[in-house]
Amino acid sequence: MASGKPNSNAAGGNGSGGPVTFLEAIKQAMFEEMERDPAVVVIGEDVGVYGGAFKTSEGLLERFGWERVIDTPISESAIIGAACGMSYLGLRPICEMQFIDFIACCFNQLTNFVAKGHYLWNAPAPIVVRGPSGGGVHGGPFHSANPEMYFVHTPGLKVIYPSTPYDAKGLLKAAVRDNNPVLFFEHKFLYRRIKEELPAEDYTLPIGKAAVRREGRHLTILSYAAMMHTSLEAAEALAKEGIEAEVIDLRTLLPLDEETILQSVKKTNKVLVVHEDTKTGGIAGEIAALLCEKAFGDLDGPLMRVTSLDTPVPYAPTLEDYFLPNAQKVFAAAKELARY
């Protein structure tokens, strides 16, 4: 553990307390980056005194002070705008969206100002925009969204959506050190439901690299975030029926790791994409186009997809359960695909 860190839970720390949650991994990443580099600041709603709605910035204010942990008014455009301006002087702000759904409020600032700056006038904006996303927790239509594809369609941004604490920490640190604006989605369903032992030493993971989570030869399941775990669960069930699914965790959606995808398709010849995002305009469509362009001859069956419905995220548990993909749906689609 780096010297000078208080050993309370509130102040993060790493490698000493056994497996940590996804939340804790996020907290550790921010804490360690702020320790490492005084150019790193945190800005958002309730990130200071309160420590963030999900407590991801708990202890940061006490440790780093008011200049580096900036509580803002409820003004998402001001958060992104100010972070962008700060980055022009060499700072590396981490912006928190209290819920990622609210990123819609600063859509213009992100897509028109931040994303275009480097291309148009050679102005890099090294900012990170992170926040809790995704459903399955009965948050209703405004606290459950997966808005990643709006931004995957925006040249100039990078989009990360990890599925494990280890990846979350390594990729968030990489995002802070990247010279480009990076959107970092954290699936809130995973926040406390998944634990992992993290290395004691400083590490980053490369942005734009997928990970093979399970090797298989009959078909490839491409997924990310919470659905990666759903896909793994389905893969276990498929294995019992003699179908070996390869499960790939995309981790980064922009840029997409084409190489890993294409390699797997060469091996399995069948692709199922599983995402919690709604169907139309989701990453599955983009992957289908990619495979048509670059791996048409490798395909032995149609690209299939299991996604959420093309509706807002409904509130009632019965409705939301119906709306979301689950292991059974993935299992059924994979069995159908395997028949080709």
Partner 1 sequence: MNRPPSVGERMKKGLTRQQYLDLYHYMRLNRAVEDTMVKLFRQNKIVGGLYSSLGQEAISVGSAYALEKKDWLAPMIRNIGALLVKGVPPRDIFMQHMAKYDSPTKGKDGTSHFGDLDNLHIVSPISMLGDLIPVMAGVAIAGRYLGQKIVAMTWIGDGGSSTGVFHEGLNFAATQKAPFVLILENNLWAYSTPVRRQVPLENLADRAKAYGIHSYIVDGNDVVAMYKTAKEAVDRARAGEGPILIEAKTFRRLGHAQHDPAEYVPKEMRAYWEARDPILLYEKFLMSEKLLDAKSKKEMEGKIDALLQKEREFAENSPMPPAEFAAEGVYCTGDDCHKIQPKWERDKREVMPPKSSVSAVWTVEGFGAGKGSSGGIAPIHFGDTAGAQEKAENEDKLAPKSPVKTVGKKSAKVASARGAGALRRRSKASGDK
Name residues contacting partner 1, limited to 62-81 (CB under 8 A). 62-68, 70, 72-73, 75-81
- 233 lines the binding site for partner 1 (CB under 8 A): yes
Per-residue CA distances from 164 to 18, 122, 178, 213, 261 (Å): 15, 34, 20, 11, 20
**List 147, 165, 216, 314, residue binding partner 1 (CB under 8 A):** 165
Residues making up the chain, counted from first to last: 340
**Set 138, 143, 187, 218: catalytic member:** 143
**List 14, 28, 230, 269, residue binding partner 1 (CB under 8 A):** 230
Give min distance, CB of 82 to partner 1, in A.
3
- 317 lines the binding site for partner 1 (CB under 8 A): yes
**List 232, 248, 253, 283, residue binding partner 1 (CB under 8 A):** 232
DSSP track, 159-181: EE---SHHHHHHHHHHHHHSSS-
Sketch the per residue contact string, 260 through 299, with partner 1: x for CB under 8 A, - otherwise.
----------------------------------------
DSSP state of 130: E
- 209 lines the binding site for partner 1 (CB under 8 A): no
Tell which residue, 289, 248, 255, has the closest CA to residue 159: 255
State which residue, 116 or 301, has the beta carbon closest to partner 1: 116
Please say if 143 is a catalytic residue.
yes
**List 15, 16, 17, 179, residue binding partner 1 (CB under 8 A):** 179
Would you call 106 exposed, middle or buried from its count of C-beta atoms within 10 A (0-12, 13-18, 19+)? buried
Beta carbons of 20 and 55 less than 8 angstroms apart: no
Beta carbons of 287 and 303 less than 8 angstroms apart: yes
Q: In sequence order, what are the residues at sequence separation of 6 or more whose Cβ sits closer than 8 angstroms to the Cβ of residue 161?
A: 133, 148, 184, 185, 187, 224, 225, 250, 251, 252, 253
- 196 lines the binding site for partner 1 (CB under 8 A): yes
- 118 lines the binding site for partner 1 (CB under 8 A): yes
**List 146, 163, 260, 264, residue binding partner 1 (CB under 8 A):** 163
DSSP track, 84-102: HHHHHTT-EEEEE-SSGGG
Tell which residue, 208, 295, 222, 294, has the closest CA to residue 257: 208
**List 13, 44, 131, 136, residue binding partner 1 (CB under 8 A):** 136
Segment interacting with partner 1, rule: CB under 8 A, options 192-200, 260-268, 297-305, 332-340: 192-200
So which residues are the catalytic ones?
143
